[in-house]
Chain A
Amino acid sequence: MRSVSSTKSFHDAAAEALQNPSLRAALDKAGAGFLTTRSRAFASLENARALTDAAQQARTRAVDGMADLLLLFEERARAQGVSVHWAETAEQARETVLALCAGKRRIVKGKSMASEEIELNKALSRTSAEVIETDLGEYIVQLAEEIPSHIIAPAVHKTRAQIDALFRHHHGGKGGESSQNRVRSSQALVEEARRVIRQKFLHAEIGITGANMLIAERGAALLLTNEGNGDLSAVMAQRHIVLAGIERIVANDRDAAAVLRVLARSATGQSLGTYVSLYGGTGDAHKDTHVVLLDNGRSAMHGGAWHDMLRCIRCGACLNHCPVYTKVGGHAYGWVYSGPMGKVLSPLLAEAGTDARLKRRVAALPHASSFCGRCVEVCPVGIPLTSLMRKLRNRHFERPESIGGWKTKLGCLCLRFLFAYPRLYRVFLALALRLLKTAARGKGHVAFLPGLGGWTKTRDFPINRRARSALALCERANRNASHTP
């Protein structure tokens, strides 16, 4: 993958992203739109709180009863002739899908983050099959040989000019009705993509989609799309494969509806996606449907400290409202999940896998937050994202795995010691304030501070001109007052 280096840390990738003017332009443009539409969608409701409460309850029921509900889903799905496959690891999931695709050459895919998670396209491309992503954003990202930078808007990091250039390159450059130099309109680009992708639908042998929910009582998968590509992927080919994480389960239609009411509102500000599709048994002898249930670390999160994260409905609201995400975009996070939810999910899922480099790359993500808390505020299912990040930090503290981790631990232990002996703390502080004042040479700030290079690289460090702490000043004032009755 071009866009995600195999070793670069968030810190370095983010710094690089900040230097990329077209990325900044794309993010700024998309970012504002998401916020306006979402706030409008919720503001127009009389009982927004009741809706999010209901969604949270539905997801809580789903996640708490995950094991039983999954078995019920399997039973009901099988009763309709749907084949259900369990995959404990990414590798097993890939093997299952590859086996189902054996001998087939033409595969169309609807958007599926689970398939990105297990790098399904890479595995399929090693066979003789041709896989085409049919969601426009995913298609763009696929042509660019990148990974999605946003869970619901995969190509949000691309400008129209970049997409135009990409299409000209891959579609043989014949799409333009006007001069080669002018960037075509969004509509023209969409039409061209539609022409290309429609041909793929017509000849597809296998359709692969994800699922927003797996409805246990119904034994059916639910998918929300805006482009209708999910339905075409599911219906046109003879075989439909649904790939979904096990935590996509919900108990019944009512709970699915409760989630649906907040999903599109949170994601794009629509009251509902354009297409809401249910895939169960078809009753058609020439058509078979398979559901691949992906664990890949999810069941390990169940019941423990990370349980709440399983509630996530992948709406992307936390990304859109995150001041860090909106500055650097998704690729800096080093994997397919980004933003606040990615900071929690990526390290946890990576641990379950076997990719040591991925594990190292995403380990520090929970530290890349200012804890502003806006993600928690907008999460429609009440996931305490900042608390979860803090818990992950706590785990690093208990078992440091990097030099940075050891440095943090050492720093904390020193502070603990100073805090335990306030007199020593005062002596230390007095000394430090003197030194700072000397270094400032009559000014109110220093431009460089050893140990705080990360700060002083871009900011002056304000100092205390009096070189005495507030407590020291007050004590002196009290002493003076008692001497002059």
Chain B
Amino acid sequence: MTEETPSKVAVLATCLADALRPQTVLATCTLLTRANPDNKPPALPKRQTCCGQILYNAGDRKGAALQALRVIDLFEPFQAVVVPSGSCAGMLKRHYPHLLAGTPHARRAEACAKKSWELTEFLHLHLPRKDSSRNSSQGSSHASLKDPPPLTWHDSCSCLRECNGSAACARSLLARYGFRLHEAREREVCCGFGGKFSVANSAVSTSMADDKLARLEQSGAKVVSSCDLGCLLHLAGRARRRTLPLSFFHIAELLVEQESPHRDALPQELLPIGA
């Protein structure tokens, strides 16, 4: 490990996951607990709502700046903010400093950007490689009792372009957990989600989803995962409407699902998004 694992870690659940996919947030907390040297669960500050991206992209720069300040305040006491979403992590890492540049809060925005992590980037560095608490039969790997399903991966645009490194981190984590990745073609092309774009430009957005789904299907895998819930909701919603035989999970859920001892973190059976 190149860096000391921060002990005071907090999770920004993201409004989408908090509201529509609590499984993602619970799994994120489980993984971060494992990544903590004292097995301490991360904080999940109660007053959190949204990172402000929805306002920012709608053109409400002032509203976004206000919201950025709230998030910065809320997470001030923590050494690391971990976000189970590339686009929200990108918001904190790339856009907060931009939004608050030239204001008295510029330095705090920079500090917040520096301690913000997309989940897989953080896990890649801090999740212990060797699980000594369990006598795993497979050496240093996390590979569990279960045989993981063949998987294909959707690189979100934010992970690719705003959290550089995340694409490699996610792949390395999946490999550590024994997943076999069936890579799709043209992974750098957007799936068409884009927040409000998916609603306001429905036809184009849907057509982009169909192209993406075709490439994911061609990979041969039936399970699709990603770091970004927005893309997953959009793709799962489209696949369901077209009754395509694909199921969608956030990467945190899959990793936890592979960890049998921690299955109690997900009391119900883990259903794919939208199922």
Residue ranges of A at the interface with B (Cβ–Cβ < 8 Å): 10-11, 14-15, 18, 323-324, 327-328, 367-374, 376-377, 387, 390, 392-398, 404, 408-409, 411-413, 415-416, 418-420, 422, 425, 429, 432-433, 444-445, 447, 452, 454-455, 457-466, 468-471, 473-475
A selection of 25 A-B contacts at a CB cut-off of 8 Å is A11-B201, A11-B203, A14-B201, A18-B203, A324-B201, A327-B207, A327-B211, A367-B197, A367-B201, A370-B195, A371-B197, A374-B189, A390-B56, A393-B57, A393-B58, A393-B59, A415-B50, A419-B67, A420-B66, A459-B206, A465-B268, A465-B271, A470-B13, A470-B22, A471-B25
| B1 at interface, CB cutoff 8 A | no
**Min CB gap A424→B, angstroms:** 10
Q: Among the listed A433, A455, A470, which residue makes an inter-chain contact with B237, where contact means beta carbons less than 8 Å apart?
A: A455
Residue ranges of B at the interface with A (Cβ–Cβ < 8 Å): 13, 17-22, 24-26, 29, 44, 46-50, 52, 54-61, 63, 66-67, 70, 98, 157, 161-162, 188-190, 192-209, 211, 233-234, 236-238, 240-241, 268, 271, 273-275
Given contacts A367-B196, A370-B192, A474-B25, 10 further A-B contacts (CB under 8 A): A323-B189, A327-B208, A327-B211, A370-B190, A397-B61, A416-B55, A452-B199, A455-B199, A458-B203, A465-B271
List of A residues within 8 angstroms of B198 by Cβ:
370, 454-455
Q: Among the listed B18, B47, B52, B161, which residue makes an inter-chain contact with A470, where contact means beta carbons less than 8 Å apart?
A: B18
Q: Are A328 and B21 in contact (CB under 8 A)?
A: no
Q: Are B18 and A458 in contact (CB under 8 A)?
A: no
Kindly report which residue of chain B lies nearest to residue A14, judged by CB atoms: B204
Name the residue among B193, B197, B202 with the largest chain A CB count within 10 angstroms.
Answer: B202
Q: Are B63 and A323 in contact (CB under 8 A)?
A: no
A324 to B206, CA, bound (A): 11
A369 to B50, CA, bound (A): 21
A323-B49 contact given A14-B203, A460-B237, A464-B20, CB 8 Å threshold: no
List of B residues within 8 angstroms of A473 by Cβ:
22, 26
Q: Are A369 and B194 in contact (CB under 8 A)?
A: yes
Q: Are B209 and A459 in contact (CB under 8 A)?
A: yes
A455 to B44, CA, bound (A): 30
**Min CB gap A94→B, angstroms:** 34
Kindly report which residue of chain B lies nearest to residue A417, judged by CB atoms: B63
Kindly report which residue of chain B lies nearest to residue A323, judged by CB atoms: B190
List of A residues within 8 angstroms of B46 by Cβ:
422, 471, 475
Q: Are B237 and A445 in contact (CB under 8 A)?
A: yes
Name the residue among B21, B54, B190 with the largest chain A CB count within 10 angstroms.
Answer: B190
A390 to B54, CA, bound (A): 12
| Secondary structure call for the B interface | helix
Q: Are A460 and B274 in contact (CB under 8 A)?
A: yes
A418-B201 contact given A433-B19, A459-B237, A462-B20, CB 8 Å threshold: no
List of B residues within 8 angstroms of A471 by Cβ:
13, 18, 25, 44, 46, 48
Kindly report which residue of chain A lies nearest to residue B271, judged by CB atoms: A444
List of B residues within 8 angstroms of A15 by Cβ:
203-204
Q: Are A416 and B59 in contact (CB under 8 A)?
A: no
Q: Are B208 and A370 in contact (CB under 8 A)?
A: yes
Kindly report which residue of chain A lies nearest to residue B201, judged by CB atoms: A368
Q: Are A408 and B58 in contact (CB under 8 A)?
A: yes
Kindly report which residue of chain B lies nearest to residue A12, judged by CB atoms: B203
Q: Are A462 and B273 in contact (CB under 8 A)?
A: yes
Q: Are A374 and B188 in contact (CB under 8 A)?
A: yes
A459-B238 contact given A416-B55, A452-B199, A454-B200, CB 8 Å threshold: yes
**Min CB gap B216→A, angstroms:** 15
**Min CB gap B217→A, angstroms:** 16
List of B residues within 8 angstroms of A371 by Cβ:
57, 157, 194-195, 197
List of A residues within 8 angstroms of B61 by Cβ:
394, 397
A-B pairs, 3 with minimum CB distance: A370-B194, A393-B59, A470-B25
Q: Are B192 and A323 in contact (CB under 8 A)?
A: yes
List of B residues within 8 angstroms of A419 by Cβ:
49-50, 52, 63, 66-67, 70
Q: Among the listed B63, B202, B208, B274, which residue makes an inter-chain contact with A457, where contact means beta carbons less than 8 Å apart?
A: B202
Kindly report which residue of chain B lies nearest to residue A429, judged by CB atoms: B19
Kindly report which residue of chain A lies nearest to residue B193, judged by CB atoms: A370
List of A residues within 8 angstroms of B211 by Cβ:
323, 327
List of B residues within 8 angstroms of A459 by Cβ:
206, 209, 234, 237-238, 240-241
Q: Are B25 and A373 in contact (CB under 8 A)?
A: no
Name the residue among A420, A429, A444, A458 with the largest chain B CB count within 10 angstroms.
Answer: A458
List of B residues within 8 angstroms of A11 by Cβ:
200-201, 203
Name the residue among A18, A392, A419 with the largest chain B CB count within 10 angstroms.
Answer: A419
Q: Are A415 and B194 in contact (CB under 8 A)?
A: no
Q: Are B49 and A425 in contact (CB under 8 A)?
A: yes
List of A residues within 8 angstroms of B193 by Cβ:
370
List of B residues within 8 angstroms of A376 by Cβ:
161
List of A residues within 8 angstroms of B13 by Cβ:
470-471
Q: Are B199 and A469 in contact (CB under 8 A)?
A: no
List of B residues within 8 angstroms of A415 by Cβ:
50, 54-55, 63
